[in-house]
Amino acid sequence: MIIMKLKQQIRRLLALECVGYFRPAGCVWVLLLAGRGFSLAEIGLAEGFFHLVSMICEIPSGMLADLLGRKRTLAAGQIMSGLSAAAMLLSDTMAGVCLGMALSAMGYNLASGTREAITYDSLVAYGVEEGYLKLSSRQNVVYRLTAAAAMLCAGATAAVGYRLAYAADILFALAGTCAALSLWEPVVTKGQRERENAPLRGLWSRLRAYLGETLRFLREHPRTLGLMLFNALVGAFATLLGFYLQDALPGAGAHPALLGPLLVAVGLGGAAGSHAAAGLARLPYRTAAVFSCAAIACGYLMAASNMLPLMAAGGFLAVAGDDCLQTLTDARLNQGLPSDQRATLISVSSMCFSLMMVVLSPLTGALVS
């Protein structure tokens, strides 16, 4: 019975990756905004605004997940994503786009750290946390395959227009909300048991206490913070290359019918990298990190060739290197984080990524305009 309950939780977590993150419009938002007449500089500004909001909300959202429950927080994140799609659908101004990006950032924040925390603690509840790397790798593979499927619709998304595309995103956000609410909440500490009995009791004092405990943990574990910053910097460079390719591939002569398959090929690099992480886990972390960074650097060189096959292959290589490093770093971090603050501390890692993107997104957009 116990094993069946855990297997059911794993199936539901994987289902959430499928329906909760299938976003036909969201995965090609750069392409859609460019098609509506927004410049790359404006798009870079919008991306920077996304990460500014994300940076501000990241740690509070992680604390809410630890204090109110991970299942509730994941459901709230899906609702925010749906509201973001609605804002992008209804607005034609830069202010409206920024509102949509802000809501999207909040949705991202509420899922960031929460997804990893509920997965890890679900395994801790049954004493099988050593299987986290394998399960995390599977989740990332499913997530990337889902994103690749959405990318495959890129040509159709551009053809039907942004309004229908964002309407589809709203429907999938509703399905994701239902998937999140179907999960069970793992309870592995005394603090979590107290939270489930009275989630709102003494919330403000608990928030202040959690913030103090988080800061104390980071002061006492500077190598953990260094690992977060390194992972964030590498991830930012890989993410920016993916955004650049959405605009560069059509500019290099990609026919609209080919755009979807090319972006799918790039996205599948994430699935390959996540799958490879389990094998590279046998190597020292620094060695695996060198391989990942080398893959991203080669990806940039290939993307600059202005030759469609090389550009797509370069994107594939960079995304593979990034997802491999992300999966390995996630497992390494979770091994040393306390369960009561797991979502909060993983959110610190995501905040580091947002900080990098706030600086690099507008700069990159201005340079390539």
Q: What is the distance between the alpha carbons of residues 49 and 149, in angstroms, rounded to a whole number?
A: 27
What does the domain layout of the chain look like in residue ranges?
Answer: 2-368
- Mean predicted confidence (pLDDT) in 301-308: 87
Q: Are the beta carbons of 290 and 323 closer than 8 angstroms?
A: no
193-210 confidence digits (pLDDT tens): 766 565 556 666 666 776
Give the residue among 66, 65, 185, 188 at the shortest CA–CA distance from 127: 188
DSSP designation for 281: T
79-92 confidence digits (pLDDT tens): 999 999 999 998 88
HEC assignment per residue over 98-142: HHHHHHHHHHHHHHCCHHHHHHHHHHHCCCCHHHHHHHHHHHHHH
Q: What are phi and psi of 193, to 5 degrees?
A: -65, -40
Give the residue among 166, 124, 138, 127 at the shortest CA–CA distance from 36: 166
Chain mean pLDDT for the chain = 84
By CB neighbour count within 10 A (0-12 exposed, 13-18 middle, 19+ buried), where does 78 fall?
A: buried
The confidence band for 247, taking pLDDT boundaries of 50, 70 and 90, is confident
The confidence band for 334, taking pLDDT boundaries of 50, 70 and 90, is confident
Give the residue among 27, 21, 85, 25 at the shortest CA–CA distance from 266: 27
Q: What is the distance between the alpha carbons of residues 11 and 135, in angstroms, rounded to a whole number?
A: 11
Q: Are the beta carbons of 77 and 64 closer than 8 angstroms?
A: no
- Mean predicted confidence (pLDDT) in 83-105: 92
Superfamily (CATH H level) for 2-368: MFS general substrate transporter like domains (1.20.1250.20)
Q: Are the beta carbons of 188 and 48 closer than 8 angstroms?
A: no
Please state the pTM of the whole predicted model.
Answer: 0.76
Residues 6+ apart with CB under 8 A from 272: 316, 320, 323
106: tokens are 């909040």
Other CB atoms within a 10 A radius of the CB of residue 34 amount to 18
